[in-house]
Amino acid sequence: MVAVKKDKINGDALGTGRRKSSVARVRVRAGSGKITINQRPFEEYFPNIRDRHDVLAALEETSRVGQVDVIVRVNGGGSTGQSGAIKMGLSRALVSYDMDLFPALRDGGYLTRDARMKERKKPGLHGARRGTQFSKR
């Protein structure tokens, strides 16, 4: 079960999403369907159609596309990691907004954390696993 988080001041539903090294803090409130990411319009922030689809997937699954306003603060990682983090954070915020959406989002896999991270570099190696080049002489 996802913890229900609401803003104490204005009652916005809150959700945090993570993917790779990206972290997204998402707010959902009743509105006209406006999506803002880092104070920029959604279409301007994600020119890639695949990333846009990731962000809108949870809204389309719950048929809330024109009913809620979404405000996102995201940092870290690249565009794919950020869109995945927003997808998870938006799903969690939607569950905080309306608990009846939980079964649909859970069954769709929107509330599952993608745990794949970049492997750390080990000492004595050039990367996480790449060793030194063999020299015969």
DSSP for 32-74 reads S--EEETTEEHHHH--SHHHHHHHHHHHHHTT-TTTEEEEEEE
Q: What is the torsion angle, in degrees rounded to the nearest 10, for the CA atoms of residue 61, residue 74, residue 51 and residue 37?
A: 80
pLDDT surpasses 70 at 43 = yes
pLDDT surpasses 80 at 25 = yes
In-domain check, residue 33:
yes
Q: Taking residues 33-59, what's their average pLDDT? A: 93
Question: Per residue, what are the HEC states of 19-40?
Answer: ECCEEEEEEEEECCCCEEECCE
pLDDT at 137: 84
DSSP for 87-121 reads HHHHHHHHHHH-GGGHHHHHHTTTTS-----PPPP
In-domain check, residue 130:
no
pLDDT surpasses 90 at 1 = no
Instruction: State the chain's maximal CA–CA distance in angstroms.
Output: 70
Beta-bridged to residue 16, according to DSSP, are 25
Split into its structural domains, the chain has a count of 1
What percentage of the chain reaches a pLDDT higher than 90? 80
Contact 125, 131 (CB under 8 A): yes
Q: Calculate the alpha carbon distances from 42 to 33, 69, 82 in Å.
A: 11, 11, 12
pLDDT at 2: 67
pLDDT surpasses 90 at 5 = no
In-domain check, residue 94:
yes
pLDDT at 102: 93
In-domain check, residue 32:
yes
pLDDT at 6: 84
CATH code of the domain containing 38:
3.30.230.10
pLDDT at 85: 96
In-domain check, residue 132:
no
Report the predicted TM-score, pTM, of the whole model to 2 decimal places. 0.89
Region of poorest pLDDT, from 1-5, 97-101, 105-109, 124-128 = 1-5
pLDDT tens profile 56-114? 999 999 998 889 999 999 999 999 999 999 999 999 999 999 899 999 999 999 999 99
Structural domain containing residue 65:
13-108
